[in-house]
Structure 1
Amino acid sequence: MRSLLLRAALGLGIGLAATAAASPETARDLSALSALDSGRWQIRDLDSGASQTLCVGDRRVLMQIRHGAAQCEWTVIRNEARQSTITYSCPNGSGRTAMRLETPRLAQIDSQGVLNGIPYGMRAEARRTGACR
């Protein structure tokens, strides 16, 4: 079920132009997130193998990847140089995302929550593949 939900979300292009409504302090101070490079990123679901390519200018999109462009309120749970965890609440649901930074071009993402009344969970690898075109 989880894989089907992710495939549906990937197929719809959810997250392509997301902008998180985090407070300026939250957005600026997430250490692991701010260490990531902007550009073209491939997001690969580690369970199903499904993937999606995103042009990431605002790196916050990687923390609420399943909630797309929804304006969400964030709460920081963990903020370390290589790991960040947030919970967030959006008009279309809520979630919890933990990101572990491997390098500025590679991160592990673990996210779970509810989107439009449907629960989801995903483990993904985010890898920068180049500049946006």
Structure 2
Amino acid sequence: MFSGVRHLRGAGRACVLAVIAGAGFLASSSLAQGPALAMLDRLEPGLWEVRARDDADTVQICVDNGRKLIQVRHRGEACRRFVIDDSATMVTVQYTCPAGGYGHTRVRFENPRLAQLETQGIDNGLPFNFIAEARRLGPCGR
């Protein structure tokens, strides 16, 4: 009888140690990753031009942080975001907006003044899909 109790205590101890080790691993790996979407923080604030590659369509956006490049088609909307990929050179984000639009955007870092965008989704009930270059032009006008 005592040997069975001792065995259960040993198994319980092993379980507790496994949980503690797993929690330590998760904590250390989340610390190593840094803040979410940190690549976008490396883009310089200012006036940015987003130029679609397949046509002459351009949009100018005053960017206070690179996260604004995620929602080029849904600027100013408070959309819920889900980060799909978050690395030092590229982020991919899926977002859904309360007004019914949504998007899927990939931003690739070239340098602090240049990024490549791929975005697609629905805006005002119509689909969009484009590849663009985003380039910092200078400071935002007042």
- TM-score of the aligned structures, taking structure 2 as reference length: 0.71
Q: Which residue of 2 aligns with 1:38?
A: 45
- 8 Å CA contact 1:43–1:126 kept in 2: the answer is yes
**Which consecutive unaligned segments of at least 5 residues does structure 1 have?**
1-27
Q: Which residue of 2 aligns with 1:85?
A: 92
- 8 Å CA contact 1:88–1:96 kept in 2: the answer is yes
Distance 2:103 2:47 in 1: 24
Distance 2:65 2:135 in 1: 15
**Which consecutive unaligned segments of at least 5 residues does structure 2 have?**
1-34
Asked which structure has the greater CA Rg, the reply is: 2
Shift of 1:111: 0.2
Q: Which residue of 1 aligns with 2:15?
A: none
Distance 1:60 1:113 in 2: 17
Distance 1:30 1:103 in 2: 15
Greater strand share, 1 or 2?
1
Q: Which residue of 2 aligns with 1:18?
A: none
Q: Which residue of 2 aligns with 1:95?
A: 103
- 8 Å CA contact 1:31–1:84 kept in 2: the answer is no
Greater helix share, 1 or 2?
2
- 8 Å CA contact 1:88–1:94 kept in 2: the answer is yes
- 5 Å-filtered alignment, 1:42-121, equals 42-92=49-99, 93-121=101-129
Runs of 4+ off more than 2 Å: none
- 8 Å CA contact 1:31–1:82 kept in 2: the answer is no
Q: Which has the higher contact order (CA 8 A, sep 6+)?
A: 1
Percent pairwise identity? 42
